[in-house]
Amino acid sequence: MVILPSLDSTPGFQALAQSNPLQYRIVRAAINRLDLAFQSSIQVSEWIRFCSEFEELASWLGDQPNPPSRADILRTYRELKSSFSWPDDLAERYVTELERKERGRPRSNRRVVMLALEQRELNPTLSWMQLTIRFCACGKDMHDMRCRERIRQMALNLKRTLDRLGV
Ligand SMILES: [Zn+2]
């Protein structure tokens, strides 16, 4: 049993392909890694590779303005659990680990960088400064060249990662 085919048949997910094509590709690639990691015949070294690729891809989707609550994550897990025969306490352990990692961690810029790269792919005539003005979350009133360079470098980083992972 794998997740990706059922996700692909979800209308909301197809709508995401239209509105946010890069985000859609990253979500698909991340879920694909999860599916691969949960194959029954998996070797430990492959399992580690798929999990780290999942984490890398998912890190560009994080820091949403309204992240799902603990209750949301657990509810989703319970809904999926019956289909996949996952252990009872796996979701609890996962959420606890997430919360431990999140505590005190500065918000990363990764999600806004991913959205900026997506806009650039949709509209290549947009300059990095235009994208910075739209997406930079530094909090300053005026974004400067340092903001622009930070967004541009991180976006190139993301592009390289996606190329390497074939996304
Ligand atoms: Zn800025």
Report pLDDT for 1.
57
Give me ligand 1 centre to Cα 148, in Å: 7
Residue 104 is predicted with a pLDDT of 61
Q: Quick check: 110 and 161 in contact, CB under 8 A?
A: no
Residue 166 CB contacts under 8 Å (≥ 6 apart), including other chains: none
Asked if residues 16 and 27 have their Cβ atoms less than 8 Å apart, the reply is yes
Longest dimension (CA), the chain: 54
pTM: 0.74
Ligand 1 center from residue 29 Cα (angstroms): 30
| Residue 141 to residue 148: CA distance in whole angstroms | 14
Mean pLDDT in order along the chain per 10 residues (167 residues): 83 90 95 87 86 91 68 74 69 74 69 95 97 92 95 96 97
DSSP symbols for 131-163:
HHHHH--S--SS--HHHHHHHHHHHHHHHHHHH
pLDDT of residue 71: 77
Q: What is the pLDDT of residue 23?
A: 95
- How many A from CA of 166 to the centre of ligand 1? 30
CA of 141 to the centre of ligand 1 (A): 8
Q: How far is the CA of 37 from the centre of ligand 1 (A)?
A: 38
